[in-house]
Structure 1
Amino acid sequence: MTEIRWATFDCYGTLIDWRHGIATGIDLIFPGRGQELLETFNRHEPAVQAETPALRYREVLTESLRRTANDAGLTLLPDDADVLAASIPYWPAFDDTAAELQRLRDAGWRVALLTNCDRDIIGAAQRRLQSPVDAIVTAEDVGAYKPDHRHFRRFADTFDARPGNWVHVAQSYFHDMVPAAALGIPRVWVNRLGESDDPTIADAVVTDLDRLTETVIDVSGRYLRPDV
Protein backbone atom coordinates (compact mmCIF):
# COMPACT_ATOMS: atom_id res chain seq x y z
CA MET A 1 0.00 0.00 0.00
CA THR A 2 1.28 3.47 -0.89
CA GLU A 3 2.30 5.49 2.16
CA ILE A 4 0.43 8.73 2.77
CA ARG A 5 2.65 11.76 2.26
CA TRP A 6 1.90 15.03 4.02
CA ALA A 7 2.82 18.63 3.24
CA THR A 8 1.91 20.82 6.19
CA PHE A 9 1.71 24.59 5.97
CA ASP A 10 1.51 27.58 8.17
CA CYS A 11 -1.43 29.49 6.72
CA TYR A 12 -1.08 33.21 7.42
CA GLY A 13 2.06 34.66 5.88
CA THR A 14 2.70 31.53 3.83
CA LEU A 15 -0.56 30.94 1.93
CA ILE A 16 -2.60 34.01 2.88
CA ASP A 17 -1.13 37.52 2.88
CA TRP A 18 -1.07 38.23 6.63
CA ARG A 19 0.85 41.49 6.29
CA HIS A 20 -1.64 42.85 3.76
CA GLY A 21 -4.51 41.86 6.05
CA ILE A 22 -3.07 43.52 9.14
CA ALA A 23 -2.02 46.71 7.35
CA THR A 24 -5.33 47.04 5.52
CA GLY A 25 -7.31 46.45 8.71
CA ILE A 26 -5.36 49.15 10.53
CA ASP A 27 -5.91 51.51 7.60
CA LEU A 28 -9.67 51.12 8.02
CA ILE A 29 -9.59 52.80 11.42
CA PHE A 30 -6.37 54.80 11.20
CA PRO A 31 -6.21 55.80 7.51
CA GLY A 32 -2.74 55.80 6.03
CA ARG A 33 -1.11 54.28 9.11
CA GLY A 34 -1.31 50.57 8.28
CA GLN A 35 2.14 50.01 6.80
CA GLU A 36 3.71 52.28 9.39
CA LEU A 37 2.21 50.35 12.32
CA LEU A 38 2.61 46.86 10.86
CA GLU A 39 5.98 46.14 12.46
CA THR A 40 4.80 47.42 15.83
CA PHE A 41 1.87 45.03 15.62
CA ASN A 42 4.21 42.25 14.52
CA ARG A 43 6.25 42.79 17.67
CA HIS A 44 3.26 42.74 20.01
CA GLU A 45 1.46 39.70 18.61
CA PRO A 46 3.96 36.97 19.63
CA ALA A 47 4.31 38.61 23.04
CA VAL A 48 0.55 38.39 23.60
CA GLN A 49 0.55 34.78 22.42
CA ALA A 50 3.38 33.87 24.80
CA GLU A 51 1.77 35.65 27.75
CA THR A 52 -1.66 34.07 27.30
CA PRO A 53 -1.37 30.87 25.22
CA ALA A 54 -4.97 29.85 25.88
CA LEU A 55 -6.32 33.13 24.47
CA ARG A 56 -8.26 32.69 21.24
CA TYR A 57 -6.62 34.21 18.19
CA ARG A 58 -9.36 36.78 17.58
CA GLU A 59 -8.62 38.11 21.08
CA VAL A 60 -4.88 38.03 20.36
CA LEU A 61 -5.51 40.23 17.32
CA THR A 62 -7.59 42.65 19.36
CA GLU A 63 -5.13 42.93 22.25
CA SER A 64 -2.17 43.30 19.89
CA LEU A 65 -4.00 46.11 18.08
CA ARG A 66 -4.73 47.84 21.39
CA ARG A 67 -1.04 47.77 22.30
CA THR A 68 -0.06 48.97 18.84
CA ALA A 69 -2.45 51.93 19.02
CA ASN A 70 -1.24 52.76 22.52
CA ASP A 71 2.40 52.80 21.40
CA ALA A 72 1.48 55.18 18.58
CA GLY A 73 -0.54 57.47 20.85
CA LEU A 74 -3.74 56.69 18.94
CA THR A 75 -7.22 56.32 20.42
CA LEU A 76 -8.72 52.94 19.59
CA LEU A 77 -12.49 53.11 19.97
CA PRO A 78 -14.03 50.03 21.63
CA ASP A 79 -16.21 49.38 18.59
CA ASP A 80 -13.12 49.37 16.35
CA ALA A 81 -10.96 47.06 18.44
CA ASP A 82 -12.09 43.87 16.69
CA VAL A 83 -11.54 45.13 13.14
CA LEU A 84 -8.79 42.57 12.44
CA ALA A 85 -10.78 39.62 13.76
CA ALA A 86 -13.79 40.77 11.74
CA SER A 87 -11.85 41.20 8.50
CA ILE A 88 -9.59 38.13 8.60
CA PRO A 89 -11.91 35.92 6.47
CA TYR A 90 -11.39 38.43 3.64
CA TRP A 91 -7.59 38.54 3.69
CA PRO A 92 -6.39 37.41 0.24
CA ALA A 93 -4.32 34.39 -0.62
CA PHE A 94 -1.03 34.97 -2.42
CA ASP A 95 -1.25 34.63 -6.18
CA ASP A 96 0.83 31.43 -6.15
CA THR A 97 -1.15 29.62 -3.44
CA ALA A 98 -4.04 27.91 -5.18
CA ALA A 99 -2.14 26.54 -8.16
CA GLU A 100 0.72 25.10 -6.13
CA LEU A 101 -1.53 23.48 -3.53
CA GLN A 102 -3.33 21.77 -6.38
CA ARG A 103 -0.04 20.67 -7.95
CA LEU A 104 0.97 19.09 -4.65
CA ARG A 105 -2.32 17.24 -4.46
CA ASP A 106 -2.00 16.11 -8.08
CA ALA A 107 1.44 14.72 -7.20
CA GLY A 108 -0.14 12.58 -4.49
CA TRP A 109 0.48 14.72 -1.40
CA ARG A 110 -2.09 15.47 1.24
CA VAL A 111 -2.22 19.03 2.52
CA ALA A 112 -2.64 20.13 6.13
CA LEU A 113 -2.53 23.43 8.01
CA LEU A 114 -0.73 23.96 11.33
CA THR A 115 -2.05 27.39 12.17
CA ASN A 116 -1.92 29.93 14.99
CA CYS A 117 -5.61 30.75 14.83
CA ASP A 118 -9.10 29.60 15.84
CA ARG A 119 -11.18 26.84 14.24
CA ASP A 120 -13.88 29.21 13.01
CA ILE A 121 -11.35 31.61 11.49
CA ILE A 122 -9.48 28.95 9.57
CA GLY A 123 -12.78 27.45 8.46
CA ALA A 124 -13.80 30.75 6.91
CA ALA A 125 -10.36 31.25 5.37
CA GLN A 126 -10.24 27.92 3.54
CA ARG A 127 -12.32 29.28 0.66
CA ARG A 128 -9.43 31.64 -0.13
CA LEU A 129 -7.13 28.67 -0.75
CA GLN A 130 -9.30 27.28 -3.58
CA SER A 131 -7.94 23.80 -2.91
CA PRO A 132 -9.04 21.12 -0.45
CA VAL A 133 -7.31 20.78 2.91
CA ASP A 134 -7.09 17.30 4.43
CA ALA A 135 -6.34 18.17 8.06
CA ILE A 136 -6.00 21.20 10.33
CA VAL A 137 -4.38 21.74 13.73
CA THR A 138 -5.16 25.13 15.28
CA ALA A 139 -3.90 26.97 18.33
CA GLU A 140 -7.37 26.49 19.78
CA ASP A 141 -6.97 22.71 19.42
CA VAL A 142 -3.67 22.50 21.29
CA GLY A 143 -3.97 25.44 23.69
CA ALA A 144 -0.74 27.03 22.53
CA TYR A 145 0.81 29.12 19.79
CA LYS A 146 3.81 28.24 17.69
CA PRO A 147 6.78 28.24 18.19
CA ASP A 148 5.48 25.95 20.94
CA HIS A 149 5.88 22.38 19.70
CA ARG A 150 2.34 21.22 20.39
CA HIS A 151 1.00 21.78 16.85
CA PHE A 152 3.74 19.57 15.43
CA ARG A 153 3.44 16.88 18.07
CA ARG A 154 -0.34 16.70 17.71
CA PHE A 155 -0.04 16.32 13.96
CA ALA A 156 2.67 13.67 14.21
CA ASP A 157 0.74 11.64 16.78
CA THR A 158 -2.57 11.87 14.91
CA PHE A 159 -1.35 11.06 11.41
CA ASP A 160 1.80 8.98 12.02
CA ALA A 161 3.75 11.74 10.29
CA ARG A 162 7.54 11.60 10.38
CA PRO A 163 10.61 12.39 8.28
CA GLY A 164 10.21 10.60 4.97
CA ASN A 165 6.46 11.15 4.66
CA TRP A 166 6.14 14.69 6.02
CA VAL A 167 7.51 18.09 4.97
CA HIS A 168 6.59 21.35 6.71
CA VAL A 169 6.41 24.54 4.64
CA ALA A 170 6.24 28.01 6.17
CA GLN A 171 7.25 31.65 5.88
CA SER A 172 7.86 32.37 9.55
CA TYR A 173 11.37 31.61 10.71
CA PHE A 174 10.48 32.20 14.37
CA HIS A 175 7.11 30.41 14.50
CA ASP A 176 7.87 27.47 12.19
CA MET A 177 11.43 26.93 11.02
CA VAL A 178 12.95 27.03 14.50
CA PRO A 179 10.59 24.51 16.11
CA ALA A 180 10.53 22.25 13.04
CA ALA A 181 14.33 22.14 13.06
CA ALA A 182 14.38 21.37 16.78
CA LEU A 183 12.01 18.46 16.19
CA GLY A 184 13.87 17.14 13.15
CA ILE A 185 10.93 17.72 10.79
CA PRO A 186 11.90 18.18 7.11
CA ARG A 187 11.21 21.82 6.30
CA VAL A 188 11.04 24.37 3.51
CA TRP A 189 11.40 28.03 4.36
CA VAL A 190 9.34 30.31 2.13
CA ASN A 191 11.39 33.46 2.61
CA ARG A 192 8.96 35.84 0.93
CA LEU A 193 10.39 38.87 2.72
CA GLY A 194 14.07 38.33 1.99
CA GLU A 195 14.92 37.99 5.67
CA SER A 196 18.53 37.56 6.73
CA ASP A 197 18.13 34.73 9.28
CA ASP A 198 20.45 31.75 8.92
CA PRO A 199 19.10 29.77 5.94
CA THR A 200 20.96 26.60 6.90
CA ILE A 201 18.28 25.89 9.52
CA ALA A 202 16.00 24.84 6.62
CA ASP A 203 16.38 21.93 4.22
CA ALA A 204 15.46 24.25 1.35
CA VAL A 205 14.74 27.96 0.94
CA VAL A 206 12.41 29.39 -1.69
CA THR A 207 11.16 32.93 -2.23
CA ASP A 208 7.65 31.95 -3.29
CA LEU A 209 5.55 28.86 -3.95
CA ASP A 210 6.40 28.49 -7.64
CA ARG A 211 7.70 24.94 -8.17
CA LEU A 212 7.23 24.16 -4.48
CA THR A 213 6.04 20.66 -5.37
CA GLU A 214 9.45 19.78 -6.81
CA THR A 215 11.16 21.21 -3.72
CA VAL A 216 8.95 19.25 -1.32
CA ILE A 217 9.60 16.01 -3.23
CA ASP A 218 13.35 16.66 -3.18
CA VAL A 219 13.43 17.44 0.56
CA SER A 220 11.32 14.42 1.41
CA GLY A 221 13.61 12.16 -0.59
CA ARG A 222 16.60 13.13 1.53
CA TYR A 223 14.88 11.64 4.58
CA LEU A 224 13.71 8.36 3.06
CA ARG A 225 15.23 5.36 4.74
CA PRO A 226 16.80 2.77 2.42
CA ASP A 227 15.14 -0.62 2.30
CA VAL A 228 16.69 -3.18 4.59
Structure 2
Amino acid sequence: MSTPAAQDYDVLTFDCYGTLIDWGSGIVRHLQPVLLERDAHVIDEFLLEFFAETEPVVQADGVSYADVLREILRRLGERLAFSPSDEALDAFASSVGDWEPFPDTVEALARLDERFDLVIVSNVDNALFERTAAKLGVDFKHVVTAEDVGAYKPDRRMFDAALASVDGGRMLHVAQSVYHDIVPASALGLDTVWIRREHDATRPVEGTPTSAGTPTAEGTPTSAGTPTAKHDAAPAKGTADGTPTADGTPTAKHAAAPAKGTPTWTFQSLGQFADAILAP
Protein backbone atom coordinates (compact mmCIF):
# COMPACT_ATOMS: atom_id res chain seq x y z
CA MET A 1 0.00 0.00 0.00
CA SER A 2 1.30 3.44 -0.93
CA THR A 3 2.01 6.18 1.59
CA PRO A 4 3.46 9.64 0.94
CA ALA A 5 7.24 9.55 0.55
CA ALA A 6 9.38 12.31 2.01
CA GLN A 7 11.71 12.34 -0.98
CA ASP A 8 8.84 13.31 -3.29
CA TYR A 9 8.23 16.70 -1.64
CA ASP A 10 10.12 19.78 -0.55
CA VAL A 11 7.26 21.78 0.93
CA LEU A 12 4.22 20.95 3.04
CA THR A 13 1.43 23.53 2.88
CA PHE A 14 -1.17 23.50 5.64
CA ASP A 15 -4.61 24.80 6.23
CA CYS A 16 -4.56 26.12 9.78
CA TYR A 17 -7.99 26.35 11.40
CA GLY A 18 -9.63 22.94 11.50
CA THR A 19 -6.39 21.16 10.56
CA LEU A 20 -3.84 22.44 13.08
CA ILE A 21 -6.15 24.42 15.37
CA ASP A 22 -9.25 22.88 16.95
CA TRP A 23 -11.63 25.12 15.05
CA GLY A 24 -14.88 23.46 16.05
CA SER A 25 -14.13 23.45 19.77
CA GLY A 26 -13.00 27.06 19.62
CA ILE A 27 -16.25 28.15 17.99
CA VAL A 28 -18.43 26.21 20.41
CA ARG A 29 -16.45 27.21 23.49
CA HIS A 30 -16.82 30.88 22.65
CA LEU A 31 -20.38 30.99 21.35
CA GLN A 32 -22.20 28.80 23.85
CA PRO A 33 -21.65 31.23 26.78
CA VAL A 34 -22.87 34.10 24.59
CA LEU A 35 -26.06 32.18 23.85
CA LEU A 36 -26.61 31.09 27.43
CA GLU A 37 -26.46 34.72 28.55
CA ARG A 38 -29.39 35.29 26.20
CA ASP A 39 -31.19 32.14 27.37
CA ALA A 40 -30.72 30.64 23.90
CA HIS A 41 -30.16 26.90 24.05
CA VAL A 42 -28.88 25.02 21.00
CA ILE A 43 -26.73 21.94 20.59
CA ASP A 44 -23.10 22.24 19.54
CA GLU A 45 -23.83 20.60 16.20
CA PHE A 46 -26.27 23.38 15.37
CA LEU A 47 -23.59 26.02 15.95
CA LEU A 48 -21.10 24.22 13.73
CA GLU A 49 -23.69 23.68 11.00
CA PHE A 50 -24.79 27.32 11.15
CA PHE A 51 -21.18 28.46 10.96
CA ALA A 52 -20.49 26.20 7.99
CA GLU A 53 -23.53 27.48 6.11
CA THR A 54 -23.01 31.15 6.88
CA GLU A 55 -19.24 31.62 6.58
CA PRO A 56 -18.88 31.28 2.77
CA VAL A 57 -21.88 33.54 2.21
CA VAL A 58 -20.33 36.31 4.29
CA GLN A 59 -16.86 35.76 2.82
CA ALA A 60 -18.30 36.38 -0.64
CA ASP A 61 -18.71 40.04 0.37
CA GLY A 62 -14.92 40.39 0.53
CA VAL A 63 -14.70 41.62 4.12
CA SER A 64 -11.90 40.90 6.58
CA TYR A 65 -12.06 37.64 8.50
CA ALA A 66 -12.63 39.49 11.75
CA ASP A 67 -15.68 41.07 10.13
CA VAL A 68 -16.76 37.66 8.82
CA LEU A 69 -16.86 36.41 12.40
CA ARG A 70 -18.77 39.45 13.59
CA GLU A 71 -21.36 38.98 10.85
CA ILE A 72 -21.75 35.27 11.59
CA LEU A 73 -22.57 36.04 15.21
CA ARG A 74 -24.92 38.85 14.18
CA ARG A 75 -26.81 36.48 11.85
CA LEU A 76 -26.86 33.81 14.54
CA GLY A 77 -28.53 36.36 16.78
CA GLU A 78 -31.12 37.04 14.09
CA ARG A 79 -31.80 33.32 13.79
CA LEU A 80 -32.22 32.92 17.55
CA ALA A 81 -34.04 36.24 18.15
CA PHE A 82 -31.43 38.25 20.04
CA SER A 83 -29.05 41.09 19.23
CA PRO A 84 -25.44 40.50 20.27
CA SER A 85 -23.68 43.50 21.78
CA ASP A 86 -20.78 45.21 20.05
CA GLU A 87 -18.56 43.81 22.80
CA ALA A 88 -19.74 40.27 22.05
CA LEU A 89 -19.15 40.75 18.33
CA ASP A 90 -15.63 42.06 18.88
CA ALA A 91 -14.82 39.31 21.36
CA PHE A 92 -15.81 36.61 18.89
CA ALA A 93 -13.83 38.30 16.13
CA SER A 94 -10.68 38.26 18.26
CA SER A 95 -11.24 34.82 19.79
CA VAL A 96 -9.49 33.02 16.92
CA GLY A 97 -6.13 33.71 18.51
CA ASP A 98 -7.27 31.93 21.67
CA TRP A 99 -8.30 28.71 19.95
CA GLU A 100 -6.00 25.83 20.84
CA PRO A 101 -4.09 23.39 18.64
CA PHE A 102 -5.25 19.80 18.38
CA PRO A 103 -3.33 17.56 20.83
CA ASP A 104 -1.16 16.10 18.05
CA THR A 105 -0.37 19.34 16.23
CA VAL A 106 2.67 20.81 17.95
CA GLU A 107 4.65 17.57 18.18
CA ALA A 108 3.85 16.57 14.59
CA LEU A 109 4.79 20.00 13.20
CA ALA A 110 8.09 19.92 15.08
CA ARG A 111 8.99 16.60 13.44
CA LEU A 112 7.87 17.70 9.99
CA ASP A 113 9.78 20.97 10.31
CA GLU A 114 13.05 19.02 10.52
CA ARG A 115 12.51 17.63 7.01
CA PHE A 116 10.33 20.08 5.05
CA ASP A 117 9.67 23.76 4.51
CA LEU A 118 6.29 24.45 6.12
CA VAL A 119 3.81 26.96 4.70
CA ILE A 120 0.42 28.15 5.99
CA VAL A 121 -2.46 28.76 3.56
CA SER A 122 -5.30 30.17 5.65
CA ASN A 123 -8.57 32.06 5.40
CA VAL A 124 -7.59 34.53 8.08
CA ASP A 125 -6.34 38.04 8.77
CA ASN A 126 -2.64 38.55 9.45
CA ALA A 127 -3.10 39.89 12.97
CA LEU A 128 -5.29 36.95 13.98
CA PHE A 129 -2.79 34.42 12.65
CA GLU A 130 0.10 36.07 14.48
CA ARG A 131 -1.52 35.10 17.79
CA THR A 132 -2.14 31.57 16.55
CA ALA A 133 1.41 31.15 15.27
CA ALA A 134 2.76 31.54 18.79
CA LYS A 135 0.88 28.37 19.76
CA LEU A 136 2.23 26.19 16.94
CA GLY A 137 5.90 26.06 17.93
CA VAL A 138 7.52 26.30 14.48
CA ASP A 139 8.61 29.08 12.14
CA PHE A 140 6.73 28.80 8.87
CA LYS A 141 8.67 29.46 5.69
CA HIS A 142 5.76 31.45 4.28
CA VAL A 143 2.29 32.44 5.46
CA VAL A 144 -0.38 32.92 2.78
CA THR A 145 -3.46 34.64 4.20
CA ALA A 146 -6.79 35.69 2.77
CA GLU A 147 -5.98 39.24 3.79
CA ASP A 148 -2.84 39.31 1.65
CA VAL A 149 -4.37 37.54 -1.35
CA GLY A 150 -7.71 39.33 -1.27
CA ALA A 151 -9.67 36.08 -1.57
CA TYR A 152 -10.85 33.17 0.53
CA LYS A 153 -10.39 29.48 -0.14
CA PRO A 154 -11.70 27.67 -2.13
CA ASP A 155 -10.77 30.49 -4.53
CA ARG A 156 -7.83 29.23 -6.56
CA ARG A 157 -5.98 32.50 -6.04
CA MET A 158 -5.07 31.27 -2.57
CA PHE A 159 -3.42 28.19 -4.04
CA ASP A 160 -1.79 30.17 -6.84
CA ALA A 161 -0.23 32.34 -4.14
CA ALA A 162 0.92 29.25 -2.26
CA LEU A 163 2.52 27.84 -5.39
CA ALA A 164 4.26 31.15 -6.04
CA SER A 165 5.60 31.20 -2.49
CA VAL A 166 7.30 27.81 -2.79
CA ASP A 167 9.22 28.91 -5.92
CA GLY A 168 9.06 25.60 -7.76
CA GLY A 169 9.36 23.38 -4.70
CA ARG A 170 7.45 20.13 -4.81
CA MET A 171 4.34 20.81 -2.75
CA LEU A 172 1.96 18.58 -0.78
CA HIS A 173 -1.15 20.25 0.64
CA VAL A 174 -2.44 19.05 4.02
CA ALA A 175 -5.93 20.00 5.19
CA GLN A 176 -9.11 18.96 6.94
CA SER A 177 -11.68 20.72 4.76
CA VAL A 178 -12.74 19.04 1.55
CA TYR A 179 -14.67 22.14 0.48
CA HIS A 180 -12.00 24.75 1.19
CA ASP A 181 -8.86 22.78 0.39
CA ILE A 182 -8.97 19.27 -1.03
CA VAL A 183 -11.22 20.04 -4.00
CA PRO A 184 -9.53 23.23 -5.23
CA ALA A 185 -6.00 21.92 -4.62
CA SER A 186 -6.81 18.67 -6.44
CA ALA A 187 -8.31 20.64 -9.33
CA LEU A 188 -4.93 22.33 -9.76
CA GLY A 189 -3.20 18.96 -9.92
CA LEU A 190 -1.68 19.12 -6.44
CA ASP A 191 -1.23 16.08 -4.25
CA THR A 192 -3.30 16.37 -1.10
CA VAL A 193 -3.60 14.84 2.35
CA TRP A 194 -6.96 14.87 4.08
CA ILE A 195 -6.66 14.99 7.88
CA ARG A 196 -10.01 13.60 8.87
CA ARG A 197 -10.76 15.34 12.15
CA GLU A 198 -13.74 14.19 14.19
CA HIS A 199 -15.83 17.33 13.76
CA ASP A 200 -15.53 20.63 12.01
CA ALA A 201 -17.28 23.79 10.93
CA THR A 202 -16.72 23.56 7.22
CA ARG A 203 -19.26 23.40 4.48
CA PRO A 204 -20.36 19.98 3.19
CA VAL A 205 -19.36 19.42 -0.41
CA GLU A 206 -19.81 16.90 -3.15
CA GLY A 207 -16.39 17.88 -4.38
CA THR A 208 -16.85 18.21 -8.14
CA PRO A 209 -14.36 20.81 -9.38
CA THR A 210 -15.66 23.48 -11.72
CA SER A 211 -13.55 24.71 -14.61
CA ALA A 212 -12.30 27.50 -12.36
CA GLY A 213 -11.19 25.05 -9.72
CA THR A 214 -13.93 26.04 -7.29
CA PRO A 215 -16.06 23.19 -5.92
CA THR A 216 -19.78 22.94 -6.19
CA ALA A 217 -21.38 22.48 -2.79
CA GLU A 218 -24.46 21.28 -1.02
CA GLY A 219 -25.57 21.58 2.56
CA THR A 220 -27.70 24.73 2.43
CA PRO A 221 -29.69 25.76 5.50
CA THR A 222 -32.98 24.04 6.14
CA SER A 223 -36.10 26.18 6.28
CA ALA A 224 -36.19 25.80 10.04
CA GLY A 225 -32.54 26.63 10.45
CA THR A 226 -31.76 23.31 12.08
CA PRO A 227 -28.62 21.37 11.26
CA THR A 228 -28.70 19.14 8.23
CA ALA A 229 -27.32 15.63 8.47
CA LYS A 230 -24.90 15.97 5.58
CA HIS A 231 -21.15 15.54 6.00
CA ASP A 232 -18.23 16.04 3.68
CA ALA A 233 -18.69 13.65 0.76
CA ALA A 234 -15.10 12.46 1.00
CA PRO A 235 -13.47 9.05 1.08
CA ALA A 236 -14.15 6.48 3.74
CA LYS A 237 -11.77 6.07 6.66
CA GLY A 238 -8.21 5.28 5.78
CA THR A 239 -8.57 5.30 2.00
CA ALA A 240 -7.34 7.39 -0.86
CA ASP A 241 -10.15 6.73 -3.31
CA GLY A 242 -13.13 6.00 -1.07
CA THR A 243 -12.77 2.21 -1.12
CA PRO A 244 -11.95 0.93 2.37
CA THR A 245 -9.00 -1.41 2.73
CA ALA A 246 -8.98 -4.32 5.11
CA ASP A 247 -6.69 -2.61 7.61
CA GLY A 248 -7.70 1.01 7.05
CA THR A 249 -4.47 2.03 5.33
CA PRO A 250 -4.47 4.26 2.26
CA THR A 251 -4.87 2.67 -1.13
CA ALA A 252 -2.40 3.34 -3.91
CA LYS A 253 -1.61 6.89 -4.89
CA HIS A 254 -3.44 8.25 -7.92
CA ALA A 255 -1.37 8.53 -11.07
CA ALA A 256 -3.23 11.69 -12.08
CA ALA A 257 -4.88 14.49 -10.14
CA PRO A 258 -7.71 13.03 -8.05
CA ALA A 259 -11.22 13.51 -9.37
CA LYS A 260 -14.16 14.91 -7.44
CA GLY A 261 -11.98 16.25 -4.66
CA THR A 262 -10.65 12.85 -3.66
CA PRO A 263 -7.51 13.32 -1.56
CA THR A 264 -4.35 11.52 -2.56
CA TRP A 265 -4.12 10.15 0.98
CA THR A 266 -6.30 10.18 4.08
CA PHE A 267 -5.17 10.08 7.70
CA GLN A 268 -7.06 10.31 10.97
CA SER A 269 -4.58 12.70 12.61
CA LEU A 270 -1.63 14.91 11.83
CA GLY A 271 0.53 12.63 13.92
CA GLN A 272 -0.44 9.64 11.79
CA PHE A 273 0.47 11.57 8.65
CA ALA A 274 3.84 12.59 10.14
CA ASP A 275 4.58 8.97 11.04
CA ALA A 276 3.82 7.88 7.48
CA ILE A 277 5.74 10.49 5.53
CA LEU A 278 8.78 10.39 7.83
CA ALA A 279 8.98 6.60 7.95
CA PRO A 280 12.38 5.24 6.86
TM-score band w.r.t. shorter chain: 0.7 to 0.9
Which residue, 12, 19, 34 being the options, matches 2:24? 19
More helix by share: 1
What is the deviation of 1:37?
2.3
Cα pair distance change 1:140/1:34, threshold 3 Å? farther
What is the deviation of 1:159?
2.1
Q: Give matches, 1:111-190, under 5 Å.
A: 111-161=118-168, 165-190=170-195
2:137 counterpart of 1:101: no
Q: Give matches, 1:186-205, under 5 Å.
A: 186-193=191-198, 195-199=231-235, 200=241, 201-205=262-266
Which residue, 85, 90, 113 being the options, matches 1:82? 90
Greater shift in the superposed pair: 39-48 or 195-204: 195-204
TM-score, structure 2 length as denominator?
0.70
Runs (5+) with no aligned partner, structure 2: 1-6, 200-230, 236-240, 242-261
Structure 1 contact 24–34 (Cα < 8 Å) conserved:
no
Structure 2 contact 178–234 (Cα < 8 Å) conserved:
no
Corresponding residue for residue 54 of structure 2: 44
Cα deviation per residue 1:99-134 (whole Å; 9 max; x = unaligned)? 11111112x101110000001111111011122222
In 2: Cα distance, 1:47 partner to 1:83 partner: 21
In 2: Cα distance, 1:193 partner to 1:4 partner: 27
In 1: Cα distance, 2:118 partner to 2:232 partner: 28
In 2: Cα distance, 1:34 partner to 1:19 partner: 13
Cα pair distance change 1:216/1:114, threshold 3 Å? farther
What is the deviation of 1:84?
1.6
Cα pair distance change 1:83/1:160, threshold 3 Å? same
What is the number of equivalent residue pairs in this alignment? 212
Runs (5+) with no aligned partner, structure 1: 219-228
In 2: Cα distance, 1:28 partner to 1:86 partner: 16
TM-score, structure 1 length as denominator?
0.86
